[in-house]
Structure 1
Amino acid sequence: MKFAAVLNRDGGTLRTTDLDAFRDRMHLALKNGGHSVDIDVVAGSDIVKALDNVSSRHGVDVVLAGGGDGTISAAAARLMGKKKALAILPAGTMNLFARGLGIPQTLDAALQSFAEGEVAAVDIATANGRPFVHQFSIGMHARMVQLRQRMEFGSRLGKIRASAKAAWATINNPPAMAVTLTVGEAEIVARTTGIGVTNNLFGEGHLPFADNPAGGVLGIYVTMARQRTELLKFFFNMARGKWRDNEHVEIHQTNRAVLKIQSSRKWRAVIDGELTNLDRETVIEIHPGALNVLVPRHTAWAKAA
């Protein structure tokens, strides 16, 4: 296969990686698998332009994207509904979508899996037409990201520490949002501290990622926790993947949901880790099998899907 790689030198672990040496290892690993690759290393400000270029290039079978959540989400958006496949180099902080695909979590192991990999179709979701591969969220998550962006960090561990500080600040001053959420034929009116809508249901017993990225449903997680002890339990359970152990979280699944904000206040949302303005009404839909991805050969969920 013909690969075209775009590496965000400012994103995730790539900012602290010897990219010249890594490019050599990438060429060798893919060549040994019978493939060829062109590699572009670009600044974060140029990532969208570079992805536009390679996703429209003739003769390319696989677009390999390396960077954080924003880079991967931008690449997936450009490949949605196309024959070209996306290969995800797990260079972000948590790499949750890559984990759900079964991609090894070290850069060199991921390269080896690409050399021997196979293409599978997975789901992608949209919020008012904007694609996302992991999660659309409002409330606490958006506040955490806003607070974290005001902090300085230069590494993966620094980002984790900043996230912990932002989470503690959010627990001590949680948002409260009046919303109407339409799930199928049901209409839910609630005052919530947070809602996450995910591209397939999160699995249990691990970090929040989908066990089956081709499951064909949105997961909807509505958080009713307001007191500090309730919020601490929520964050603790979330980190352990114990969603169903928390009495303050309602879980729904559907293929389409409509979220309406019952307030004139301007709120923010987070889409795959990136802050964006929140519309008064957001239509969220899942698109089964609309994204081709390169995954390790004999991946269990790909065979079961």
Structure 2
Amino acid sequence: MNRSACLIFNPVAGQGNPEVDLAEIRAILEPAINLDIHLTTAEIGADKLAQAAVERGVDEIIASGGDGTLSAAAVAVAGTDIPLGIISRGTANAFATALGIPDTIDGACRTILQGFSRNVDVAYCNELPMILLAGIGFEAETVEKADREAKNRFGIMAYILAGFQELRELENFDVEIETPDKIIKTTAAAVTVANAAPPTSVLAQGPAGIIYDDGLLDLTIVAPNSKAGAIAATYHLFQTASSGNAAERDDIGYLRAKQFKITTDPPQKVVIDGELVGTTPVEVKCVPGALKVFVPSVPEEEPVEKLEGLPNLIIEVKE
């Protein structure tokens, strides 16, 4: 008996031909899965289509589009037992990359056909859903500078160009990070809390790998004392992301916890999954295993904790 699934397809995602893309998806999936196809529009997004599919009680939901489409569908599916298939057709494809899902249509469809699903974590930042990560400080400023026109024109390079522009105005801030068992005080230029993150999310790459189904969040602190130090720290994080080795610089720290409460002085801008949402303080909580996703494999890396070397560091252990 064939499987059945609701396919949510964003026809304006990516640089390809949507008709060709949809035809390829159908050619690969339809021999094994009965597809009920729904296209997103300017008025009806992936979130509403996924919510409607959940209410209809569908067996599976497959989302195809950029990170915005995929995250919106994931949020709607979270908390249900309906597995989500991901077919990335965007610019960055961060969501798929973070979960190890191929970013080609063929590879993503084969992953869905294999039928192996994993319960992955979801997080909430100030009650807003967070599938990937929250960036505080440098990363939020960078995302704000990378406007829609630049992203459409340059793709992921828009963030890199904006990052170099932001380096000229780099400012550190005091930060207090509270976990269930301790309070950490230090100075930083960027703080990133990741639920899941691809290697391209460089400022999240302090640990030796971000595990998306361990019930924990990964926090990375970047605390350079100069613009040159910021460039060096960013390059080091790029290397850790490429090699799978944890960061070793004194101006980079990281730790893991189920939740974080973060306050800064002065207040800093906050971005969640690529969208600017406000300023600190923030509280980020992990909801373990809230989302069932078709994935090809399970991550094996075990990150550790490192805080030594951060400037003005104070750690208070709770009783």
Question: Same-fold call, TM > 0.5?
Answer: yes
The 1:70/1:150 distance shift into structure 2, 3 A limit, reads closer
Q: Is the 8 A contact 1:174 1:226 kept in 2?
A: no
Q: Report the identity percentage.
A: 23
Equivalent residue, structure 1, for 2:160: 164
- Cα distance in structure 2, aligned partners of 1:225 and 1:43: 44
| DSSP-derived class of the 1:214 partner | coil
TM-score by length of 2: 0.81
**What TM-score results when the alignment is normalised by the length of structure 1?**
0.85
Cα 1:253–1:147, aligned 2, differ >3 Å: closer, same or farther? same
Q: Which residue pairs with 1:18 in the alignment?
A: 17
- After superposition, the C-alpha distances for 1:95-137 in whole angstroms (9 at most, x for unaligned) are 2332232211212221122122222211111112222121111
AA aligned to 1:8 is: N
- Per the alignment, residue 224 of structure 2 pairs with 225
Residue 98 (1) aligns with residue 100 (2):
no
What's 1:188 paired with? 184
Question: Helix, strand or coil for the counterpart of 2:98?
Answer: helix
After the TM superposition, which residues 74-85 of structure 1 pair with which residues of structure 2 at under 5 Å, given as runs? 74-85=72-83
Q: For the Cα contact (< 8 Å) 1:124–1:288, is it kept in 2?
A: yes
For residues 74-223 of structure 1, the aligned pairs below 5 Å read 74-149=72-147, 151-154=149-152, 158-199=154-195, 210=209, 212-223=211-222
- CA 1:151 to 1:144, structure 2 compared with 1: closer, same or farther past 3 Å? farther
Could you list the runs of 5+ residues in structure 2 that have no partner in the other structure? 301-319
Q: Secondary structure at the match of 1:154?
A: helix
Describe the superposition over 1:4-54 as per-residue Cα deviations: whole angstroms up to 9, x where unpaired: 12222333x2xx22222222222221122x211122222355313333322
2:183 alignment partner AA: E
Displacement of 1:201 in angstroms is 8.3
Distance 1:177 1:68, change over 3 A: farther
Report the number of matched residues. Answer: 290
Distance in 2, Cα, partners of 1:93 & 1:180: 34
Partners of 2:4 and 2:225 in 1: CA distance: 51
Equivalent residue, structure 2, for 1:247: 250
CA RMSD of aligned residues (A): 2.7
The alpha-carbon distance between structure 1 residues 56 and 29, as it changes in their structure 2 partners (threshold 3 A), is same
Does the CA-based 8 Å contact 1:201-1:253 persist in structure 2? no
**1:56 Cα shift?**
2.5
> Are the counterparts in 2 of residues 69 and 273 from structure 1 also a CA contact under 8 Å?
no
Q: Secondary structure at the match of 2:293?
A: strand
Give me the whole-angstrom Cα distance separating, in 1, the residues matched to 2:196 and 2:104: 24
One-letter code aligned to 1:125: A
Q: Flag the 1:246–1:61 CA change in 2: closer, same or farther, 3 A.
A: farther
1:292 paired residue number: 292
- Take 1:20 and 1:68, find their aligned partners in 2: how far apart are those partners? 16
Instruction: Considering fraction of residues, name the structure with more helix.
Output: 1
Partners of 1:153 and 1:282 lie apart in 2 by 27
- How far the C-alpha of 1:271 sits from its partner, in A, is 0.9
Is the contact between residue 92 and residue 155 of structure 2 (CA under 8 Å) also seen in structure 1?
no
| Range with bigger deviation, 237-246 or 186-195 | 237-246
* Closer/same/farther in 2, CA of residues 211 and 224 from structure 1, 3 Å limit: closer
Instruction: Name the residue aligned to 1:8.
Output: 10
Cα separation, 2, equivalents of 1:140 and 1:39: 40
Q: For residues 90 and 146 of structure 1, what CA distance do their matches in structure 2 show?
A: 23
